[in-house]
Structure 1
Amino acid sequence: MSSVETSPGLGGVDWLVIVVYLAAVIGLGVWLGRGQRNTRDYFLGGRDLPWWGVAFSILATETSALTFIGVPAMAYAGDLGFMQIVLGYAVGRVILAVMMVPYYFRNEIYSPYA
């Protein structure tokens, strides 16, 4: 005899939440994408994004779920060597902002940072 109970699957409320979520994501994408005229606008946001929006986007892209959950867990376990990642993030952002982004903008290079 197995003591594992089986789940009956997704119910009506579950499917409703999924459908509402998908509709909201699609609606938000259509609404925010209405000002895009070409692929340059799509990839570069018309170069009209606020600095904090770009910064959070880059940070979210580079920080995986494993990093977000694993680094605090490793630090709690006593391995503070992983905490250097925070310093690396800060130094890397300064180098990008001061050296790389102005170069990308001047030369119209398409990059995640420009």
Structure 2
Amino acid sequence: MRRTLAIACAAALVLTACGTKGGGSDGGTEGAGGVTTDVGVTDADITLGVMTDQTGPFKALSTGITHGNQLWVEDANADGGICGRDLKLEIVDHGYKADTPKTLYPQIEPKVLGLVQLVGSPVTAR
């Protein structure tokens, strides 16, 4: 159930990148096919973020979830991507340390449309 919900949320997020209406004056420009390009969305790619634990106590769980995300991206790209754009993942490791995302998020945020994975309750509480 949770996996289905997570996939549905990720798909909804990605599909919003296919919209042809801008959300305001945030600097987006019209790209190929009339689709607005902006942070994380170019004429060629849609980049999504993954903030996960690759080295801490939840490494085994997080690695499995990340591999699932990568399989989803590969499948979507094999089917032509989303709106003719390939999906890409920007993956960062917070090591399940609650303070690390404070420095990682500002690094990843300008590169991604949104996050499809965020592991750890101390991390999400920040």
- With the shorter chain as reference, the TM-score category is 0.3 to 0.5
Higher normalized contact order (CA 8 Å, seq sep 6+, divided by chain length): 2
Using structure 2 for the length normalisation, give the TM-score. Answer: 0.30
Using structure 1 for the length normalisation, give the TM-score. Answer: 0.33
Q: Which has the higher strand share?
A: 2
